[in-house]
Amino acid sequence: MTALITGASEGNHALKAEADIVPDETDIADNSMELTVNLTTVKTVHVAKIDMSLDNLWKLLYRAKALITIKDDNGISVQSAKVEGKFYLNGVLISSTSANTNASGIASVISPWRSSKKGDVFRFDVTNVSKDGYTYDPSKNIETSDTITVP
């Protein structure tokens, strides 16, 4: 059985159900039941923003940086969330990586250096976000991936 409870605070609550006595009923011991339930709220996190930039070495080697901002349901930045993701270059996977968010809710990840030319595209995809006490809800993401093109 599922019940929707609104307006109740977190914690233990006693629930009691009672049934009316019907005509000719002789056994009324099963006409009521009490139950204690512990209500908890589900707190979620999502990707609020991904900012991409490039580093260049000798005009041939490039690497991409992604700054991923994680927020909760109230739009508050979430510290110490683990962000996991993958970097691609022109659609080919080049690395899987992860980082924890800082006090501002931002995780910073960097791809490996790659020989690149003008027009090549680096992409970063968030694959998971985790933090104790929270559930990752990708349906609330503002962005799940971002790209940057080699100039």
Q: Flag whether pLDDT at 3 surpasses 70.
A: no
Q: How do residues 74-90 score in pLDDT, each as one tens digit?
A: 999 999 999 999 999 99
Q: Flag whether pLDDT at 124 surpasses 90.
A: yes
Average pLDDT over residues 44-55: 98
The 3-state DSSP class for residue 44 equals strand
DSSP for 111-138 reads PPPEE--TT-EEEEEEEEEE-TT-EE-G
